[in-house]
Amino acid sequence: MADFKDDIEKALECLNNGGILIYPTDTIWGIGCDATNADAVKSIYALKKREDSKSMLVLLDSEFKLQTYVSEVPEIAYDLIEMSEKPLTIIYDGAKNLAQNLVAEDGSIGIRITGEAFSKQLIQKFKKPIVSTSANISGNPSPKFFAEIDPAVFESADYVVKFRQDETTGAQPSGIIKLKSNGEIKVIRE
């Protein structure tokens, strides 16, 4: 699948250069960048016209990488990820090794393990987490598929992934839970 491989290579180049990417995820289309690059994260806040006090989540390709970005991963996190039947974002205390402007004021970070082919392979090759925030301007509806993305979002993007652009099946955002380091769980969005 040459197009897929070419898309991955161009997306990698974009991320390595601190660029902004529009890409498919395991939920809705996302705006992303290197989650360790504060300047790139700042560019996404500007693109979305979003206050930087509202943190964004990151995608990883494997739950085994959680310990690199979270100070203390509660054991139950692995069970929740494994048992979840739909994409699940978990907000963890004690974010580390990420751009500081990506981390919430309380030191937490939302992380989702993606199973979607493109985003998973991209993160594997990039070897770092990538930001994933809905491909919209803050306050506007989240696009359920590529054709619903507001053209204004593309103006500030450095690369738009071609893979899956023709899909018209409406996607849903992930479930979100907050997981305290003591194992306490709070459901934010089912």
pLDDT at 71: 96
Q: Is the pLDDT of residue 92 over 60?
A: yes
Could you give the strand order of the β-sheet that contains 57-60, starting from the edge strand earlier in sequence? 159-160, 21-23, 30-32, 130-134, 57-60, 109-113, 88-92, 175-179, 185-189
Contacts of residue 40, Cβ cutoff 8 Å, sequence gap at least 6:
18, 19, 20, 33, 34, 99, 131
pLDDT at 144: 86
Question: What confidence category does residue 1 fall into, taking pLDDT thresholds of 50, 70 and 90?
Answer: very low
Give the residue with greater pLDDT, 52 vs 66: 66
The residue extents of the domains of the chain are 2-189
Pick among 3.40.50.1580, 3.20.20.60, 1.10.357.10, 3.90.870.10: CATH of 2-189? 3.90.870.10
Q: Whole-prediction pTM value? A: 0.95
> With pLDDT > 90 as the criterion, what percentage of the chain qualifies?
87
Q: Give the mean pLDDT of 109-113.
A: 98
pLDDT at 52: 79
Q: Give the mean pLDDT of 14-38.
A: 97
